[in-house]
Amino acid sequence: MLDWSKQFNICCFMDSNEYAASYTRYEALLAAGVVSELLPDTTGNGAPDSLTQLQAFHRHVKDWIFGHLGYDLKNELYPLTSTHPDGIAFPNLYFFQPEVVLLVLPGVVQIGGWNYQEADARKVYDACMRTPITTGGIPPLRRTLQSPFDHADYTGRVKALQAHIHRGDCYEINFCREHFLPDIALNPYSLFQRLNAFSPAPFAAFYRLRNQYLACASPERFVQQTGRQVISQPIKGTIRRGNSVAEEDRLKALLRNSAKERAENIMVVDLVRNDLTPTASRGSVAVTELCGIYTFAQVHHMISTVQAMLAPGQDFTDIIRHAFPMGSMTGAPKLRVMQLIEQYESSKRGLFSGALGYVTPGGDMDFNVVIRSMLYNASEQYLSFTTGSAITFRSDPEQEWEECLLKASAMRKVLEG
């Protein structure tokens, strides 16, 4: 499917990597080609209401739509601005109605498209089956990754953020650091294939928007809506994998019993409950799992699940309007920490810590959190990935630095061969 999609300059491939997680709908899905698209105009006077335009776009096409929400969509939802450099330059919001959609379920693939008949679907299936599978390599990286600030600067900024916590400005803040390489030529498809093989994740994705690319190995779901049921599954709490069964058990127990990690997770759960409440039926918001421990290729994570029932008269854009950006990538209280993020970070997050996903013809949706991801602008030959961690009262700046390096390890190994 992915190799076949190379003929299209806009496509979105999502892979669950056979994680048998709750709420998983498809083993994989692909949207390719464009029938119509939404790119809100941000050049006029006043802030555009991109989510209202998204709602109107979906109601007009009455079809599948795929696309993304960039982190700086926040500037429409809150009284915020962003002035940092952005080497990738994905738009703040983009969605497309695809020419063809392929849905992979156990033992079957469903294929549909704009005005498709069965013969059209069979042609796509046959073309996919005939497409040679490529495993293009990436030349080993022989250059040093760059960053806007180094170790000493990072720990200094963490201490400054903790001073804000001590003053009562906030309780928890997600602080991030970009890694980038300018003037680098590479194959984005090979980049994703290597990342997905090295660090398979339940919300992995490859996304192409003409000359901008995303290779994503995300373990986190932002929000899913199925009928009236809405769930969000924030991640907070990370520890490395062990080298033996005994060490694995010890590390998972350390994570499960860590007062700091549990405090991070519970604070974000409270924020998610607050975010889902405005669009939920009264009394329907509930935490169905708190601080569960889940294992991934490189790390163990602490994940919680918050569920709600959508109130009458609300739709998917209303949920996004109140819940975006996701609390796991901001902190609490949300507005104040987003101001501090702008003050202490040095790069625009862009698509990183935004969301990628789809909306079905009936208005159901599923979006991931864009983390553990590599972004590439082929026109500028600029490669970027960002890592972060949650800063709290109990944080040790050196340990936060080590957590960022741990999260970056898979992507560094992909680049370094």
Tokens for 402, please give them. Answer: 């080590």
Question: What are the residues whose beta carbons fall under 8 Å from the beta carbon of 371, sequence distance 6 or more?
Answer: 218, 219, 220, 329, 352, 353, 407
Q: Which of 167, 287, 171 is nearest to 232 (CA)?
A: 287
DSSP string of 329-383, one letter each residue:
GTEESHHHHHHHHHHH--S--TTTTSEEEEE-TTS-EEEE---SEEEEETTTTEE
Count CB-CB contacts under 10 A for residue 399.
13
Contacts (Cβ under 8 Å, ≥6 apart) of 252: 239, 293, 295, 300
Structural tokens at position 196: 């997905």
Region label for 192, one of left (φ > 0), alpha (ψ between -120 and 50) or beta (otherwise) = alpha
- What CA–CA distance (Å, rounded) separates 139 from 346? 29
Judge whether 417 and 210 are in contact, CB under 8 Å.
Answer: no
* Catalytic member of 76, 178, 220, 261: 220
CA distance 333 to 282: 23
Residue 236 a catalytic site member: yes
Give the residue among 212, 208, 214, 216 at the shortest CA–CA distance from 8: 208
Of 74, 236, 252, 348, the catalytic one is: 236
Whose tokens are 């972060």? That residue is 388
Asked about 220 being catalytic, the answer comes back as: yes
**197 alpha-carbon distance from chain centroid:** 18
* β-sheet bridge partners, residue 37: 96
H/E stretch holding 387: strand 382-391
Pairing of strands 299-309, 286-295: antiparallel
CA 238 to chain CA centroid, nearest Å: 17
Spatial CA neighbour of 371 closest among 186, 234, 193:
234
Q: What are the angstrom distances between the C-alpha of 226 and each of 223, 230, 269, 315, 316? A: 10, 7, 20, 11, 10
Supply the residues annotated as catalytic: 220, 236
